[in-house]
A and B are shown apart, each in its own frame.
Chain A
């Protein structure tokens, strides 16, 4: 990987470094206040700095009309290419239409538009991770733990009784992560039983409140695993468990909790043994890929030379990584 990267960098620098100084990227992020998107932003800034391009990043404040206005601003300004992290996936078509009429390429990141939308414009691409993969990985984390720790089957029925903390309603990551984590457990030969599930909107406080209600109404002794769609919610669940002396060092009182993202706080919680594992979404490579793709599009160069493989002519998929205790990078 590193080799390819260095080679590409050298190639890119040799070919077009002088002209990148004139390329300006306009990037719209759905919300700055999001741990994962922060890492994403940092990666994009670093990459464009390295390649000598300028990048302007706008905070969509979790509001699509705000983001629309920011994109309009970019298009009427002097940007050569757009990178868009949509607030609302349904707004993809209008963004594509705007970009198309201005003849400016657009790279979507993190929140995936449908293929039909991408197909309406030759210069529309998507860089991200396959959401189902994160679901598969978090399912594997739980299934592996269950198999290697027979005492985790607290009621010895051979089934896995779990609770599920979901992200924002209708969010594609929420749907796919929830679906594939459960399916993976089943594929591993363990029957999953969902005791309860609720939408906690990716939020720590909300997840803490909901988890607390689950602990009280179901009883912690009956819960065998907690699957959360992201790390913040997993951490909320951990706080609620800790308040009942669970996951606080006593092996008799432990419920495995898994999240997705690989936040610093999640890694710390894993170090302390409060959380079982997480699935790291590779923000650094995603950010780099998005910037490089954007620059290639802006320059009109062949997109297959940027060092990340293009799938189906529209996508760059960056794989996830499983992380458990002690495997921290």
Chain B
């Protein structure tokens, strides 16, 4: 047993070091060999991957005997358990061959940027999934937050202002207004679910329709009359468009502000789920609602809080979406909830409640974005993209379930 664990450690460390060395060699060789236009930033990626592996291998804890027995799986089991991840890696390699431009740091950063709002959505919706529910209103809440915030953030000179006489208010006011509006809708969701024990599917379906209707009414108010909201103030757009450290070195595009925002939210949600009474209660209610009642947990209050917190996150996502695109319509966010649910499920969140980790959700979102982005990158038809997306969801969940149901 001792031999296997040290062997896997050694394998990881040496593998990492090989990657690292290869990366360094290529880094210095690419200019003289004229590979610049063929491998782009590949050496940098190799160096990063190499360091990650080497450190992980070096730091890996010695496994206890029991864990080693559980982890001591066969190669085929390893393949099936990580099928989606492997499929993603294969796809990445194929794309890199077809279109070497994929191996650029700016592409990697772009993928992270695009994952950001999706991740915030997924983190919101995972709460509903953890209590064996769902939240169909998520996407429409994004639209609501986008429209509300954008409507108050237009430049004074813009021809079609939503509120022609509105002064140039401070940026935080519309953000708070949008997020609070979402939280009120979330409270309604929570109330229906907690008070009447309505299934979240029905409750959020009802609010989804209501929210879209209300948002469309707001959007259709004269003088806007359902026009896409434009003329967004640059200070507001910066919230979604600002790039940090841009020009740090020549050609560095900068890190989108969305990335640190989503990382901070990720950490907060991780903390809430793992280190607070509320988080533990969420898992408990999802694991066995009746038992949670008997254990003296205030289920009503917790469910209310779940939906309010989730819609807070949707609201943030909506504001960021409006800022990023410098515009909004009432159709923003349409269908985001299904993408978010799919990412959660691929990331190992169980639809029957009680199981799910932040790390898994991050993985799920990243896998989804990489695959979607990659397919778009090599210009695969959107129809094929849909087919592939569906297959991923089905396969991911099937694999996940067989893990639990293995005889």
Contact = CB atoms under 8 A, between A and B. Distances in A.
Task: Assess A/B contact in the complex (Cβ within 8 A).
Answer: yes
B281 interface: no
A250 B180 CA distance: 39
B219 A33 contact: yes
B376 A242 contact: no
Contacts of B155: 268
Interface stretch (B44-52, B69-77, B260-268, B377-385): B377-385
A268 B329 contact: no
A276 interface: no
Interface string A208-221: 11101100111100
Interface in B55-84: none
Contacts of B325: 204-205, 208, 236, 239
Interface residues of B, number: 40
Given A33-B331, A265-B327, A216 B228 contact: no
A269 to B, nearest CB: 8
B110 A212 contact: yes
A196 B241 contact: no
Contacts of A235: 230, 327
Interface stretch (A14-22, A34-42, A92-100, A251-259): A34-42
Given A212-B110, A239-B326, A268-B159, A198 B228 contact: no
Given A198-B379, A235-B327, A263-B228, A217 B101 contact: yes
B332 interface: yes
A147 to B, nearest CB: 30
Interface in A218-276: 218-219, 232, 235-236, 239, 242-245, 263-265, 267-268
B225 A265 contact: no
Contacts of A236: 325
Given A196-B379, A199-B382, A265 B110 contact: no
Contact of B228 (A35, A42, A212): A35
Overall SS of chain A's interface: helix
Contacts of B378: 217
A265 B230 contact: yes
A32 interface: yes
Interface string A33-61: 11100100110000000000000000000
B216 A33 contact: yes
B327 A204 contact: yes
Given A199-B382, A236-B325, A213 B226 contact: no
Interface residues of A, number: 35
B338 interface: no
B177 to A, nearest CB: 22
A122 to B, nearest CB: 35
B159 A232 contact: no
Contacts of A218: 101
Contacts, number: 90
B160 A264 contact: yes
A59 to B, nearest CB: 9
Contacts of B246: 245
B373 A213 contact: yes
Nearest to B146: A205
B302 interface: no
Contacts of B216: 33
Contacts of B243: 243
Contacts of A212: 110, 114
B220 interface: yes
A45 B14 CA distance: 75
A219 B101 contact: yes
Contacts of B99: 217
B110 A216 contact: yes
B293 to A, nearest CB: 43
Given A265-B327, A268-B158, A217 B226 contact: no
B231 interface: yes
Contacts of B373: 213
Contacts of B231: 264-265, 268
B228 A265 contact: yes
A205 B228 contact: no
Contacts of A216: 101-102, 104, 106-107, 110, 377
B230 A263 contact: yes
Interface in B248-264: 253, 256
Given A216-B104, A243-B241, A268 B332 contact: no
Contacts of A219: 101
Most buried by A among B230, B332, B379: B230
Nearest to B219: A33
Nearest to A212: B110
A264 B216 CA distance: 20
A166 to B, nearest CB: 11
A229 to B, nearest CB: 15
Most buried by B among A34, A205, A242, A263: A205
Contacts of B324: 239
B330 interface: yes
A92 B125 CA distance: 43
Nearest to B104: A216
A42 B329 CA distance: 19
A297 B110 CA distance: 56
Contacts of A35: 227-228
Given A216-B101, A244-B253, A210 B376 contact: yes
Given A216-B110, A244-B253, A32 B377 contact: no
Given A217-B378, A265-B327, 12 more contacts: A196-B379, A199-B382, A209-B114, A216-B101, A218-B101, A239-B324, A243-B256, A263-B228, A263-B230, A264-B230, A264-B231, A267-B159
16 contacts: A32-B220, A32-B226, A35-B227, A42-B225, A204-B327, A204-B329, A209-B114, A210-B376, A217-B378, A217-B379, A235-B230, A264-B160, A264-B230, A265-B160, A265-B228, A268-B231
- Chain A to chain B: the 3 pairs with minimum beta-carbon distance, closest first: A265-B230, A264-B159, A264-B160
